Structure 1
């Protein structure tokens, strides 16, 4: 199975995506809870500053030694990777490709040659599911395309192999 997906078309940069590494990406989301939670969009820079602030506050309060909860925090993270159904938002990838001003739509292609087209702004809210119950999507992957509201969570668009911005 080929797991590489390329973003091409009316973009400044063609981008190659490898879903097999997203398990380590901090932007991944737990799809078992994602569609049932209230979400607040967070600025990446603000999140970084907040995380760094918490880290240094923890260092000052607890010293340089690791806190007693660190092992259990890491264990929980590993357990989620082994059993979780995970996805990732498309917005950062589409924005990093830098669509040209003429770009208005995003077309997703699957292995059978079918195409699924969405307006560019709507496509930024779509998600790629890249694992199910801790396993990669080997049979009908490499990713599933999920709508922003989760309405197709039980019957996602499968076998996505390419993205063309037009």
Structure 2
């Protein structure tokens, strides 16, 4: 089984995806809760600004303090990574490949089939890359889920490449 997935076709920059390194990516989502929660799309810059403002105000009023639970938080995060089921949005990878202006569709190539999507809908695809802390060796290296969770029980598996046409 090949663990590298190319993004090819009508793109300015053909790139390859390595799902093995996504476990360290901050953009990953927990697939056990992702489909059941009603997450709102948030403006990351606005959230960051609010967070920094709260932190700055607290430091002015109270002085700098360091959380006493830093070691336990690191331990919890390590445990979560070792046992979690994670995915990541396909959207930033397609954006980095820069589809050409005449590209209309995104095709997911698998061992036995091809699945075609409108290129504008690529932001609604999630690539699952880990199940219970283990990489997806069987039927992997990634499973493709729809953002609404409609194919949660039966994702697209055995992905070999992503082609833009």
TM-score by length of structure 2 reads 0.88
Matched with 1:85 is 85
Aligned equivalents of 1:120 and 1:47: distance in 2? 29
**Deviation digits for residues 66-94 of structure 1, max 9, x if unmatched?**
41121122112111111111000111111
Aligned equivalents of 1:5 and 1:120: distance in 2? 18
Question: What is the SS of the residue equivalent to 2:154?
Answer: coil
Larger radius of gyration between Structure 1 and Structure 2: 2
Residue 35 (structure 1) aligned with residue 35 (structure 2): yes
Q: CA RMSD in A?
A: 2.1
Aligned equivalents of 2:93 and 2:47: distance in 1? 18
Residue 124 (structure 1) aligned with residue 120 (structure 2): no
In the TM superposition, residue 54 of structure 1 has moved relative to its aligned partner by 6.2
TM-score by length of structure 1 reads 0.87
The number of equivalent residue pairs is 164
Q: Structure 2: which 5+ runs fail to align?
A: none
